[in-house]
Amino acid sequence: MASYILGRLAFAVPTLFLIILLSFFLMHAAPGGPFDLELADVDPRVLENIRAAYNLDAPVWRQFVDYLRGLLRGDLGPSLIFSELRVSDIVATGLPVSVTVGLGAITIGLLLGVLCGIIAALRQNTVWDYSVMAVAMTGVAVPTFVSAPIFILVFGLYLGWLPISGWNGGDPRHLVLPVIALALPKIAALARITRGSMLETLTTDYVRTARAKGLRESRVIIRHVLKPMFIPVVSYLGPAIATVMTGSVVIEKIFGLPGIGRAFVDSAVNRDYPVVMGIVIVYAVFILLLNLLADVLYGYLDPRIRQK
Q: Is residue 142 part of a domain?
A: yes
Q: Is residue 61 part of a domain?
A: no
DSSP state of 168: G
Question: With 0-12 CB in 10 A as exposed, 13-18 as middle and 19+ as buried, what is 99?
Answer: middle
Q: Whole-model pTM above 0.85? A: no
CATH no. for residue 163? 1.10.3720.10
Q: Is residue 236 part of a domain?
A: yes
Please compute, for residue 242, the number of CA atoms within 13 A of its CA located in the half-sphere on the CB side: 21
pLDDT in tens, the chain (308 residues): 667 677 777 778 888 889 889 888 888 777 766 666 555 555 566 666 666 766 777 788 888 888 888 888 888 888 877 777 888 888 888 888 888 888 888 899 889 988 888 888 888 888 888 888 888 888 777 888 888 888 888 888 888 888 888 888 778 888 888 998 888 888 888 888 888 888 888 877 777 887 787 777 777 787 777 777 788 888 888 778 877 776 677 888 888 888 888 888 888 877 888 888 888 888 888 888 887 887 777 766 666 655 54
Question: With 0-12 CB in 10 A as exposed, 13-18 as middle and 19+ as buried, what is 44?
Answer: exposed
CA separation, residue 144 to residues 26, 51, 107, 184 (Å): 28, 39, 18, 8
Find the farthest-apart pair of alpha carbons in the chain and give their distance in angstroms, rounded.
Answer: 86
In whole angstroms, how large is the CA radius of gyration of the chain? 24
Q: Is residue 271 part of a domain?
A: no
Q: Is residue 173 part of a domain?
A: yes
Structural domain including 148 reads 94-258
261 neighbors 98 (Cβ within 8 angstroms): yes
What is the predicted pLDDT for the residue at 301? 67
* Number of domains the chain contains: 1
Nearest CA to 55 among 222, 264, 239, 273? 273
Q: Is residue 163 part of a domain?
A: yes
Nearest CA to 111 among 25, 187, 1, 48? 187
Q: Looking at the chain, how many residues does it have? A: 308
Measured at the alpha carbon of residue 102, what is the angle toward residues 101 and 106, in degrees to the nearest 5? 120
pLDDT digits (tens, 9 = 90+) for 44-60: 666 666 667 667 777 88
The 3-state DSSP class for residue 261 equals: helix
134 neighbors 283 (Cβ within 8 angstroms): no
294 neighbors 282 (Cβ within 8 angstroms): no
What backbone torsions phi and psi does residue 56 show, to the nearest 5 degrees?
-85, -10
- Helix axis angle for 87-122 and 273-301, nearest 10°, is 30
What is the predicted pLDDT for the residue at 53? 67
What is the predicted pLDDT for the residue at 236? 84
Q: Is residue 263 part of a domain?
A: no
DSSP state of 43: -
Q: Is residue 29 part of a domain?
A: no
Element containing residue 1 per DSSP (H, E): none
